[in-house]
Structure 1
Amino acid sequence: MSVNKVILVGRLGADPESRATPSGLQVSNLRIATNHVAYDRDGGKNESTEWHRVVFFGRQAEVAEQYLRKGSQVYVEGRLRTNKYTDRDGIERYATEVVGERLQMLGGRDDTQSSGGDAGWGGGSSRGRDDSFGSSGGFEDNSRPMPGSGGAPRSQGSSYGGGQQQSAPKKNIDSFDDLDDDLPF
């Protein structure tokens, strides 16, 4: 068994770059920045930014082009793909990108840094507002069946919390007496 799964939460560094293939399939390329914070032994804060290339196809690409702008915060699920190509000097190069399978818009109406950032956003209060481009709270590629589903396509249920949620059972913290005091950290 193997797993090729990527989950990113970050912001777009530029507007999506979109095009159509000769067959008419829409393709959108996104550049997403994620941040990492680490502390050294002296307590100093070291921040770094990692840039990710993400490509969406079909309806997801259309949605990205229509609603996303530089500065938009997004949640992306996908898989890694490495492409091999030859550059202008005849040298073989490799480029790794994320092939997006799920796209979720995060943040609110004024979350983007560019003008026109409210195009397509729902109205109303922040609690009742659906800040997504679909009623499910996100956009998934439902054309492929889920593993173990017997070939049935994925349902488009909400992962954003738009549906009814069940509360987690409350646990008594004092009942956790199985903690190991010899932890290595």
Structure 2
Amino acid sequence: MHNRISLIGNVGNQPEIRTIGDSKVASMSLGVTEKGYTTKDGKKIEDRTTWFRIGLWRGLAEIVEKYVNKGDKLFVEGKMLSREYEKDGVKYTAWEVTATEIELLTPKKDGNGQDTKSAPSTTQQAAKESDDLPF
């Protein structure tokens, strides 16, 4: 069995970056919207957005810090994890996607308003890093 989730959505807040030990960690929200529709009998079903907490570690956190902003469209793949905590005597479960791969889907603009090449996807980044290996 595999725990894998793939999402495409828009970043809901400016990513928060912090350092734990010697590793960077990023967290952000990602809104995934299911488009509304009209039924055969004319009933209008509105768009529905589901919000996910996304956690990113090390190299992915560095990419997020450099390239990701509120409103950007992203592809995120990762593992859905839960943690339990207690507050004021009430037990809660918090769900978060720990990202294993991201890809920026929003073209970046240069100073003239022209699309520029976006940040490398994590797959491209891994290939670049392997070119630096001495073997």
After TM superposition, the score normalised by the length of structure 2 is 0.80
Q: Secondary structure at the match of 1:66?
A: helix
Query: CA separation in 2, counterparts of 1:73 and 1:47?
Result: 17
Deviation at 1:45, TM superposition (A): 3.7
The yes-or-no answer on 1:25 pairing with 2:23 is yes
Query: CA separation in 1, counterparts of 2:56 and 2:2?
Result: 20
Aligned length: 124
Query: CA separation in 1, counterparts of 2:89 and 2:62?
Result: 34
The yes-or-no answer on 1:130 pairing with 2:132 is no
Matching residue of 2:92: 93
Give unpaired runs (5+ residues) of structure 2.
Answer: 129-135
Give unpaired runs (5+ residues) of structure 1.
Answer: 111-117, 120-124, 143-154, 158-185
Higher helix share: 2
Matching residue of 1:139: 122
Letter aligned with residue 85 of structure 2: Y
Structure number with higher relative contact order (C-alpha < 8 Å, ≥ 6 residues apart):
2
Letter aligned with residue 74 of structure 2: V
Deviation at 1:38, TM superposition (A): 4.1
Aligned to 2:35, which of 34, 37, 45? Answer: 37
Higher strand share: 2
Matching residue of 1:51: 51
Query: CA separation in 1, counterparts of 2:73 and 2:107?
Result: 9
Query: CA separation in 2, counterparts of 1:95 and 1:38?
Result: 28
1:15-48 per-position Cα deviation (integer Å, ceiling 9, x unaligned): 0011111x22111001011111243342424211
Look at both structures and tell me which one has the larger radius of gyration over its CA atoms: 1
What is the percent sequence identity of the aligned residues?
25
RMSD of aligned residue pairs (Cα, Å):
2.5
Query: CA separation in 2, counterparts of 1:14 and 1:81?
Result: 21
